[in-house]
Amino acid sequence: MSERTSYAAQPDLQSDCGSCFGLCCVALPFSRSSDFPVDKSAGTPCENLREDFRCGIHRRLRDTGYSGCTVFDCFGAGQKVSQVTFKGVSWREEPDSARVMYEVFPVVRQLQELLKYVAQALDLSSAARVHRDLRRAYERLDALTRGPAETLLAIDVDALRGEVNPLLLRASELARADIPGRGKNHRGANLMGSRLRGAKLRGASLRGALLIAADLSDADLRDADLIGADMRDTNLCGADLRGALFLTQPQLNAARGDARTKIPQALERPAHWAA
Ligand code: SF4
């Protein structure tokens, strides 16, 4: 890959529903709640899944009570399991393979998420000192995702995460080294419902922080490390998230924002945000 190409923007790391057998809509369970109007068990196709594996209510998910679907991203796991692991043969064509396919999907989804983080770190020119190790980690993870089902099911994902996390942490530190707020450490902090309107959090670490329903409106979150932060219902109206590290589309989709919210170029403004 050339130096100028973005790792994180590779098609392999974006969900491609047209090449997937609707795996998130079959393999995963959900419960009746504010996110879903009904219960569904793992391995049961959602009642809205069409024959062509597309969602029959895709444009009306929030209006019909399925907001939980709008905050999910497989990071490319769906098409990889469908087309690579199971070589284009669906659970409808080969029902005997269905159970294993549903078990493999969440494993590959976690690996793809890890790949996405590694890719984002590889896109940080300021983290060049760890790029060689990151490239090795990327190649290893990518090779694992392309292995057979039985190999995938034997992977200890937590152990892999434990190996990759120090590299991501180092990349984050290097990227934030010259940012004035880099010393602000809220790693793993419970900030649920906190009033942080206008907070100066540029370059801060918010790794794994609980930001559920926190008011971060008009906050300066530029270059902040948001890996794994729980941003459900977080108020980001008017906040500035440009350059935020390890921010993902599902995190943005789960939060609230408006036309004034500034987001990293690589991410899309969620359709449900206020105008
Ligand atoms: S509502 Fe649509 S996106 Fe959500 S699980 Fe059902 S088919 Fe999939």
Residues near 240 by beta carbon (within 8 Å), at least 6 away in sequence: 219, 220, 221, 222, 261, 262
Residues 91 and 195 both lie in one domain: no
pLDDT at 181 over 80: no
Residues 44 and 95 both lie in one domain: yes
- Single residue among 126, 143, 175 that ends a domain in this structure: 175
Q: Name 235's bridge partners.
A: 215, 256
Residues near 55 by beta carbon (within 8 Å), at least 6 away in sequence: 22, 25, 46, 48, 49, 61, 69
Average pLDDT over the chain, rounded to an integer: 95
Atom of ligand 1 nearest to the CA of 49: 7
Residues 98 and 206 both lie in one domain: no
Element holding 133 (H helix, E strand): helix 131-145
For residue 1, being part of any structural domain is answered with no
- The tally of domains found in the chain comes to 2
pLDDT at 201 over 70: yes
Residues 144 and 223 both lie in one domain: no
pLDDT at 1 over 50: no
Give percent of the chain above pLDDT 70: 98
Q: What is the Cβ-side half-sphere exposure of residue 47, based on CA atoms within 13 angstroms? A: 8
Residues 156 and 201 both lie in one domain: no
Residues 120 and 46 both lie in one domain: yes
For residue 264, being part of any structural domain is answered with yes
pLDDT at 140 over 70: yes
Average pLDDT rounded to a whole number, residues 128-147: 97
Least confident piece of the model among 2-16, 48-62, 95-109, 193-207? 2-16
- Single residue among 175, 208, 231 that ends a domain in this structure: 175
From ligand 1's centre to the CA of 221, what distance in Å? 32
Q: What is the CATH number of the domain that holds 208?
A: 2.160.20.80
For residue 160, being part of any structural domain is answered with yes
Angle at alpha carbon of residue 153, lines to 147 and 155, rounded to 5°: 80
- Single residue among 132, 151, 175 that ends a domain in this structure: 175
Average pLDDT rounded to a whole number, residues 230-256: 96
Angle at alpha carbon of residue 270, lines to 10 and 26, rounded to 5°: 70
Residues 52 and 147 both lie in one domain: yes
Residues 78 and 204 both lie in one domain: no
Residues 168 and 203 both lie in one domain: no
From ligand 1's centre to the CA of 120, what distance in Å? 28
Atom of ligand 1 nearest to the CA of 66: 1
Question: What's the pLDDT tens digit per position in 77-97?
Answer: 999 999 999 999 999 999 999
Which domain, by its residues, includes 186? 179-275
Neighbours of 223 (CB within 10 A): 24
From ligand 1's centre to the CA of 86, what distance in Å? 22
Residues 160 and 236 both lie in one domain: no
pLDDT at 147 over 70: yes
Average pLDDT rounded to a whole number, residues 156-175: 97
Residues 129 and 166 both lie in one domain: yes
Residues 165 and 216 both lie in one domain: no
For residue 3, being part of any structural domain is answered with no
175/227 Cα distance (integer angstroms) = 14
For residue 4, being part of any structural domain is answered with no
Q: Whose CA is nearest to atom 2 of ligand 1?
A: 55
Average pLDDT rounded to a whole number, residues 93-112: 97
pLDDT value of position 6: 87
Q: C-alpha 7: how far from its chain's center?
A: 15
CB 15 within 8 A of CB 79: yes
Give percent of the chain above pLDDT 90: 92
For residue 158, being part of any structural domain is answered with yes
